[in-house]
Amino acid sequence: MANADILGIESSCDETAAAVVRSGEQVVSNVVFSQIATHQEYGGVVPELASREHLRAIVPVVRQALKQAGQCYESIDAIAVTQGPGLAGALLVGISYAKALAFALQKPLIAVNHLEGHIHAVLLEEKQKGNRHIRVPVLALVVSGGHTHLYLARPLNAAASEPPRAGSEQSQGAWIYHNVGHTRDDAAGEAFDKVAKLLALGYPGGPIIERLAEHGKPQAVKFLPAQIKHRDRKHKQNATIQSLSFDFSYSGIKTAVLRYVETHNMKAPIEGRRRQLAAVPNPGTQDVLSICDQSTLDLVASFQWAVVEDLVGKTLSAAREYEVGTLFVTGGVAANRQLRRRFEEQSRREGLAVYFPSRVLSTDNAAMIAAAAYPKFLAKDFAAPQVSAEASLRLG
């Protein structure tokens, strides 16, 4: 079939994004407007402000994505939009706009699950590199500010443990997903954000903790395994795919950091840092680094180490259990270099292939939404006119 150019729209959290992707495999344009500056002073996303910012940004962002792609409204083949999960008010902005656009232009509308989008970011990246021979099933870790999920994933038309077929286009069709693990409380990215807020390091927490951790000792503070609860194999007596569970938990380590702060008299310096940073417009890494003592840097490096080791360890246990040949690691936290390094080292030891999206496609973007929509476009799986936002939409 001829190429299909899909306009993707994403507004599930604090990024207003639009992109044009050709036939699910070539990013033609990718525009992301981040609301970080709006939410920074609150240390987290404020839902009402997010909706207001999406309303302001959506039209210029879509126009820019079309312009960068050398396209106009009429020349695109379909419109894809994130249906959920996410903030209801934020999702509604993207969905209402996409619905109106599809109706006015008489183009098909495709509703996409945000989590499936993150998984397709990896497929998109690999197709762009010319890699079409991904061994299935895949174990996909989706790790972001709102989610820490493990999925067994494979193309709908592939057998459960089908090896790669030479020249096959197995990733063109629809994929199916089976959830084999999720967080019991906080998502990993949420823990990065909350610990950064607690230590007055700024928002979002992941990128700043990653940069500060380079200056600290990851073994300085030993977090106990019980502070990152391992609850895998809880139904081991019925060891079927349906009953096994590899769950995560990151609220304990956040509390452990708080205890550490209290018992090591760090509260006063933290409040001092909070005041100093409030006086700096858009503080950068050097601004924060210059007012962090060594014990804070060690604490941050130890926190990152503990979370990364837990994510890698849990994912590799699940990979062994389900005998997968390929790992996907995606979502905002997958931008973390330490996480990538440890996944690469540990996967190599186990003979597993591990793929990540580029850092740009790891965090929220609309290219992944347009890519995930392509199999639905081929299958004519279009959204009904009354489609609406689903804040708690599940995958698998």
| Residues 71, 72, 74, 78, Cα dihedral to 10° | 60
Does 16 contact Zn ion by CB under 5 A? no
Smallest gap from residue 144 Cβ to Zn ion (A): 4
Q: Which is nearer to ligand KG4, 76 or 90 (CB)?
A: 90
Evaluate whether 131 touches 169 at the Cβ level (below 8 Å).
no
Minimum distance from residue 123 beta carbon to ligand KG4 (Å): 16
Q: Which residues bind ligand KG4 (CB under 6 A)?
A: 13, 144-146, 189-190, 192-193, 204-207, 210, 331-333, 335-336, 363-364
Judged by beta carbon, residue 352 or residue 369, the one nearer Zn ion is 369
- Which position's Cβ is nearest Zn ion? 144
Residue (200 or 244) nearer to ligand KG4, CB:
200
Binding mask 340-379 for Zn ion (x = CB under 5 A): ------------------------x---------------
User: Whose CA is closest to 179, among 227, 225, 147?
Assistant: 147
Q: Which two tokens stand for residue 306?
A: 């503990």
| Closer CB to ligand KG4, 102 or 329, in the complex | 329
Specify the residue, 5 or 190, whose C-beta has the smaller distance to Zn ion. Answer: 190
> What b/e sequence results for 216-254 when a residue is b if at least 16 CB atoms lie within 10 Å of its CB, and e otherwise?
bebeebebeeebbbbebeeeeeeeeeeebbbbbbbbbbb
Which member of 11, 144, 170, 315 binds Zn ion (CB under 5 A)? 144
Distance of closest approach, residue 209 Cβ to ligand KG4, in angstroms: 6
Minimum Å gap between C-beta 253 and Zn ion is 21
Distance CA 109, CA 95 (A): 10
Report the partner that residue 84 touches, choosing among ligand KG4, Zn ion, none (CB closer than 5 to 8 A by kind): none
Closest to ligand KG4 by CB, 102 vs 372, is 372
The minimum distance between CB 364 and ligand KG4, in angstroms, equals: 4
Among Zn ion, ligand KG4, none, residue 202 binds (CB under 5-8 Å by kind): none
Nearest Cα to Cα of residue 144 among 7, 45, 283: 45
Q: Which residues of 134-149 are buried (b: 16+ CB within 10 A; e: fewer)?
A: bebbbbbbbbbbbbbb
Closer residue to Zn ion in complex, CB, 84/108: 84
- How many of the other CB atoms lie within 10 Å of CB of 263? 8
Binds 247, which of ligand KG4, Zn ion, none (CB < 5 to 8 A, cut-off by type)?
Answer: none
- 51: Cβ contacts below 8 Å, ≥ 6 apart: 87, 89, 90, 92, 93
What tokens appear for 94 in the block?
């993207």
State the sign of the Cα–Cα–Cα–Cα dihedral 276, 282, 287, 289.
positive
Q: What one-letter code names the amino acid at 66?
A: L
> What residue ranges bind Zn ion (CB under 5 A)?
144, 364
